[in-house]
Copies of this chain bind each other. A is one copy, B any other.
Amino acid sequence: MPLPETEIPGRLQAELMSRGLRMTRQRRTILSVVETAKQHLDASQLLRRARRLDPQIDRVTVYRTLGLLKRHGLIDELDLMHMQGEKHFYERRPQRDHIHMACLRCGKITEFESDLFDRLKGQIQRDCRFHIVVTRLEVGGYCAQCRTTDQPKD
């Protein structure tokens, strides 16, 4: 599906434009990939998907756009316990922070929102007099399925 310029801009695009940044074809493409992603994507996955919409897009443009989005606090960078190399994963910054759980056996990533987590962040801000900009809580362990089986992974 080609990306018509008349399309209603996504939230990321609107945010960047409202901050006076130039909106190029490449940026529109990458932003749309980030916005429509159903899972956490790394830079190379992002590039592959962006290339399906605009085959001549370059990976440096992906990295530079990710850097831009990070600097503007519009996406979060995840390690997901670095289970498959040293790559990083990205997701649009959500309305409410969530926890990422990574199963060390099957690799499944689970998200979890928690009131206790929100309270913990409040405690950090108060007790440590620390102004929080970004948080990352990642948990490694074994999911319900993998806990109960002894089979080799996956």
- Measured CB to CB, the residues of A under 8 A from B are 77, 79, 81-82, 86, 99, 101, 103-104, 110, 112, 114, 116-117, 119-121, 123-124, 127-144, 147
Residues of B within 8 A of A116 (CB): 116, 119-120, 123
Q: Which of B112, B119, B135, B138 contacts A128 (CB 8 A)?
A: B112
Whether A131 contacts B142 by the Cβ 8 Å rule is yes
Q: List 29 A-B contacts (CB under 8 A).
A: A77-B82, A79-B79, A81-B134, A86-B86, A101-B128, A104-B133, A112-B127, A112-B128, A114-B123, A114-B124, A116-B116, A116-B120, A116-B123, A117-B120, A120-B120, A124-B139, A129-B147, A130-B139, A130-B142, A130-B143, A131-B142, A131-B147, A132-B141, A134-B140, A135-B137, A135-B139, A135-B140, A136-B140, A137-B138
User: How many copies of the shown chain assemble into the complex?
Assistant: 2
Which interface residue of A79, A116, A132 has the most chain B CB atoms within 10 A?
A116
User: Considering only CB atoms, which chain B residue lies closest to A139 in the complex?
Assistant: B135
Q: Which of B103, B133, B143 contacts A140 (CB 8 A)?
A: B133
Contacts of A110 in B (CB 8 A): 128, 130
Instruction: Give chain B residues whose Cβ lies under 8 Å from the Cβ of A138.
Output: 135-137
Q: How far is the CA of A86 from the CA of B127 in the complex (A)?
A: 30
A98 to chain B, nearest CB (A): 11
